[in-house]
């Protein structure tokens, strides 16, 4: 038998049937739903009188449409959104599916609460109607997004007709310099390989830089790998993973824990496993990154200049650059450092964990949000919010002039009332900067939480390495 990659091991262990050379029927250990990709799926079940195959292996979260105003009891006022939430609740009650509803104390962004509440363990296959399900690769689980029709199929069968991906390995050696993070690393990688550079591949990360990352940092890395077109992202479980699981999965103890350790030790690519593509990067060369355009691969290190359309040969790339520059109201050839902004958004499934907020606090301590600028911090979950309040971070943020919000997806995608106004320029810790992503005609610059915090206190895009940090 040929040596197998971690990806191949996970697929093989969950294959119910081989359908043909490229497709298998894949079993899902966990299926996560939200309010906006599930309504048609439940309607399909009702139409044919079908029930959920395994209710206990499904879970639902209200997160994309929920308002994040800092009130104790939240009400979804917008009629269409309220209907989505109420439909999800009634469907979950009908099918016996656990729901983290609007005012549940554990409510939050699906990709934040699932690992936090111990739902994600190494070796699992996890599906969700959201592309950033790749986040769970940080714990050695194969996660990926599915469409609404596939949600219906998973509900009915707990399986998915799955087209196999190719294998890519990305090795990152060296050490991230001070002032840089996993967000900067993944923005650099996406810039170099392109927004379609990993299309059709399951990406496995390895190397010295990955080994030294926290689980939260690995989540950021895996979360944004889909922005390079990847169909999955994986990091083999190690002691860092095990320590995280021990803390968050309280139900695994005794003999079960010992058995789990043995199994997790097998979850790594074999020495002679072959990859379709192998890439190498050096973490020592990473600087703080900021996007200038309307795709996550349109980014530069803070010390570089925005490219001009004329710097590319005539063709699609020149045309895309020209359109992106026009949308972001840049000329090309200028620096992003010093560019005035009107808004700062710190949140999303990419960067709304407690580690991210601690990084923000180190920049903000002793400073205030720049005059005339509106800055929001939206924790990724109720637990993150409580932890930040217990540690005194929330009080620090409020004193500095930040809005301290309730958890939710918030301004990541403008599906709620946290929306940028036309023409507003925002320093954002989110994962996408498409035209209109955070509001019609609004401009998004992706960056790390520390960089967003630096922008908040200076009023301009700023190299955080030039600010004195306060531990």
Q: What band does 39 get if pLDDT is binned at 50, 70 and 90?
A: confident
Closest CA to 267 of 137, 126, 114, 127: 137
- H/E stretch holding 93 reads helix 79-95
Mention every residue, 6+ apart, whose C-beta is less than 8 A from residue 149.
40, 41, 44
Domain 289-466, architecture per CATH = 2-Layer Sandwich (3.30)
- Token pair listed for 161: 């007709």
- The pLDDT of residue 1: 74
- The pLDDT of residue 470: 64
**Dihedral of CA 43/47/53/56: which sign?**
positive
Averaged over 38-47, what is the pLDDT? 92
- The pLDDT of residue 112: 98
For residue 471, pLDDT over 60 is answered with no
Mention every residue, 6+ apart, whose C-beta is less than 8 A from residue 24.
11, 15, 16, 17, 18, 161, 162, 164
- The pLDDT of residue 36: 85
For residue 469, pLDDT over 80 is answered with no
**Dihedral of CA 429/435/437/442: which sign?**
positive
- Token pair listed for 223: 């979360």
**In Å, what is the CA distance from 379 to each residue of 215, 221, 352?**
17, 18, 5
- The pLDDT of residue 38: 86
10 Å CB burial of residue 394 (0-12, 13-18, 19+) is buried
For residue 171, pLDDT over 60 is answered with yes
The rounded radius of gyration (Å) of the Cα atoms in the chain is 22
> Alpha-carbon distance 219 to 297, whole Å?
19
Mean predicted lDDT score pLDDT of the chain: 96
Q: Which of 68-77, 299-308, 371-380 has the lowest mean pLDDT?
A: 68-77
Q: Tens digit of pLDDT for each residue in 82-91?
A: 999 999 999 9
> How would DSSP label each residue in 245-289?
HHHH-TT--HHHHHHHHHHHHT-S--TT---SEEEEEEGGG---E
Q: Tens digit of pLDDT for each residue in 219-230?
A: 999 999 999 999
Percent of the chain with pLDDT over 70: 100
For residue 447, pLDDT over 60 is answered with yes
Averaged over 271-281, what is the pLDDT? 97
Averaged over 187-202, what is the pLDDT? 98
For residue 468, pLDDT over 90 is answered with no
Mention every residue, 6+ apart, whose C-beta is less than 8 A from residue 303.
287, 337, 463
The CATH homologous superfamily of the domain defined by 1-287: Aconitase, domain 3 (3.30.499.10)
Cα end-to-end distance, the chain, whole Å: 52
- The pLDDT of residue 72: 84
Percent of the chain with pLDDT over 90: 96
User: Are domains 1-287 and 289-466 of this chain identical in fold?
Assistant: yes
Domain ranges of the chain: 1-287, 289-466
- H/E stretch holding 134 reads none
Averaged over 417-443, what is the pLDDT? 96
Closest CA to 388 of 449, 432, 431: 449
What is the chain's length? 471
């Amino acid at each position: 038998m040929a040596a197998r990659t971690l990806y191949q091991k996970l697929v093989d262990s969950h294959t119910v049937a081989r359908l043909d050379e490229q497709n298998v029927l894949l079993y899902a250990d966990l299926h996560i739903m939200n309010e906006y990709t599930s309504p048609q799926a439940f309607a399909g079940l009702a139409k044919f009188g079908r029930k959920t195959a395994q209710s206990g292996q499904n879970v639902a979260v209200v997160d994309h449409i929920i308002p994040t105003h800092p009130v104790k009891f939240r009400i979804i006022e917008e009629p269409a959104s309220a209907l989505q939430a109420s439909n999800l609740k009634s469907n979950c009650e009908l099918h016996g599916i656990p729901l983290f509803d609007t005012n549940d104390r554990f409510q939050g962004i699906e990709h934040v609460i699932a690992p936090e509440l111990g739902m994600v363990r190494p070796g699992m296959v996890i599906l969700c109607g959201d592309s950033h399900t790749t986040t769970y690769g940080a714990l050695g689980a194969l996660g990926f997004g599915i469409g609404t029709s596939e949600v219906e199929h998973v509900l009915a069968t707990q399986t998915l007709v799955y087209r196999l991906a190719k294998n890519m390995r990305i090795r990152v050696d060296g050490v991230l310099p001070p002032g840089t993070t996993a967000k900067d690393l993944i923005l650099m990688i996406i810039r170099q390989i392109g927004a379609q550079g990993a299309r059709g591949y399951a990406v496995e990360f390895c190397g010295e830089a990955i080994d030294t990352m926290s689980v939260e940092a690995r989540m950021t890395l895996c979360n944004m790998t889909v922005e390079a077109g990847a169909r999955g992202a994986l990091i083999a479980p190690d002691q860092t993973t095990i320590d995280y699981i021990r803390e968050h999965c309280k139900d695994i103890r005794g003999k079960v824990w010992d058995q789990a350790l043995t199994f997790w030790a097998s979850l790594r690519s074999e020495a002679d496993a072959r990859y379709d593509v192998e890439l190498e990067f050096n973490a020592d060369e990473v600087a703080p990154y900021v996007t200038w355009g309307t795709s996550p691969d349109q980014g530069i290190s803070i010390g570089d200049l925005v490219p001009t359309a004329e710097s590319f040969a005539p063709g699609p790339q020149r045309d895309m650059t020209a359109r992106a520059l026009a949308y972001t109201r840049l000329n090309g050839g200028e620096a992003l450092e010093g560019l005035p902004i009107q808004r700062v958004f710190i949140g999303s499934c990419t960067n709304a964990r407690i580690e991210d907020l601690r990084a923000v606090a180190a920049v903000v301590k002793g400073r205030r949000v720049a005059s005339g600028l509106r800055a929001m911090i939206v924790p990724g979950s109720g637990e993150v919010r409580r932890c930040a309040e217990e540690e005194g971070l929330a009080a620090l943020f409020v004193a500095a002039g930040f809005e301290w919000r309730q958890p939710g997806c918030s301004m990541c995608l403008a599906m709620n009332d946290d929306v940028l106004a036309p023409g507003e320029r925002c320093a954002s810790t989110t994962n996408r900067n498409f035209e209109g992503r955070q509001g019609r005609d609004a401009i998004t610059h992706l960056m790390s939480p520390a960089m967003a915090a630096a922008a908040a206190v200076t009023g301009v895009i700023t190299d955080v390495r030039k600010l004195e940090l306060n531990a």
